[in-house]
Amino acid sequence: MTTPTALDSFLDKWRSRWPEWAVAEVFVPEDRRAATLAWFALLQEFDDILNIAGDPLPADAKLGWWGTELRDWSTHRSRHPLGRLLEPVPAPWSALADALPTLVAARERPADGAAALAALAGYGGAVAAVEASVLGGTPPQAQAIAAQVLATRLAEAGLQAVPQARQPGDADATAARERAQRDWAAELLAAWPAKAGGSPARRMWGAFARHRLGRFAQGHVPQPGRQPLGLLWRAWRAARG
C-alpha cells in the first residue's frame, strides 16, 4: 500500500468534485493524463479562492502567493506539488499570474451578466493561453472559460453569485431565490459558446460542467457520476469535437 503524497491530495480533491472524469479519462492520451489532472486541479485552487466564504484575507494572501509561484515557474522553479508536473511546461505562466488579482474583484456582485463575464475576460484569456501549452491543441475560448468559472461560482456561492439585475425582489422568499439562481444558470448557458474549442480534455470537462448547469437551470439537483453510459456518450462526443 502506497502512502498518499501532497500531490495526490490535490488531484484527489479535483477527482472527488468531478467523478465524471473516471469515465472520461480513457479519451485522454496516457502520457497527458497526469499533466491534465494537475492543470485542472490548479484551476480548482483558483476557483476556491474566488468562492471563499467568510473572511477573504487568507484567500487573498494565498492568491498573492500563487502569483509569485507562477512567476517562478517561468524560470523553472517550483515549491507547490502541482508545479512538479506543470512547471516544466513552457507556458505564459507570468501572464496568468498577472491575471489572478481579477479574481478578487470578481467576488463583487456584478451589475448584470455581461459585467460578470467581462470581469473574468482577462483571466479567461490567460487561462486559455497557458492551457494550450499544457494540454495542446488550440486555446479554448476565453468566454467559455469565464462561463465555466461562473457556473462553479453559482454552485458554490448560490444567490451571492447572481448578478444584481437578477436578484429577487423578495429576497426572503425561497421560491424567488431559487428562480433567480435558475434564471442566471440559463443566462450562463446561453452565453457559453457551444463550440468552445480547446483540447479534448477541456471539451469533456466543459461538457460535464454544462450538463450540470443545464440540470440546475431546469430545477433539478445535479447528480455527478450517475448514469455512466450517458457520461461515456457525453465524453466521447466532446472528445471528438
Give pLDDT tens digits for 116-173: 999 999 999 999 999 999 999 899 999 999 999 999 999 999 999 999 999 998 767 8
Who's near 55: CB < 8 A, 6+ residues apart? none
Residue 1 has pLDDT above 50, yes or no: no
Please answer whether residues 214 and 192 qualify as being in contact, where contact means their C-beta atoms are separated by less than 8 angstroms. Answer: no
Question: What is the rounded CA–CA span in Å between residue 135 and residue 40?
Answer: 10
Q: What is the DSSP letter of 167?
A: -
Domains and CATH numbers, the chain: 6-240 (1.10.600.10)
Between these two residues, 120 and 233, which has the higher pLDDT value? Answer: 120
Give pLDDT tens digits for 32-60: 999 999 999 999 999 999 999 889 999 99
Question: What is the rounded CA–CA span in Å between residue 66 and residue 29?
Answer: 28
Q: How confident is the model at residue 4 (pLDDT cuts 50, 70, 90)?
A: low
Collapsing DSSP to helix, strand or coil, 80 comes out as coil
Question: What is the rounded CA–CA span in Å between residue 153 and residue 161?
Answer: 6
Question: What is the rounded CA–CA span in Å between residue 117 and residue 191?
Answer: 9
DSSP labels, 102-140? HHHHTTSPPSSHHHHHHHTHHHHHHHHHHHHHHH-SSPP
Q: How confident is the model at residue 229 (pLDDT cuts 50, 70, 90)?
A: confident
Question: What is the rounded CA–CA span in Å between residue 221 and residue 207?
Answer: 17
Cα-Cα-Cα-Cα dihedral sign, residues 104, 109, 110, 112: positive
Question: What is the rounded CA–CA span in Å between residue 151 and residue 215?
Answer: 12
Residue 201 has pLDDT above 60, yes or no: yes
Q: Which residues of 181-200 are buried (b: 16+ CB within 10 A; e: fewer)?
A: bbebbebbbebbeeebbbbb
* Residue 158, Ramachandran bin (φ over 0: left; ψ between -120 and 50: alpha; else beta): left
Query: Global pTM?
Result: 0.94
pLDDT, position 3:
46
Residue 2 has pLDDT above 70, yes or no: no
Mean pLDDT of the chain: 93
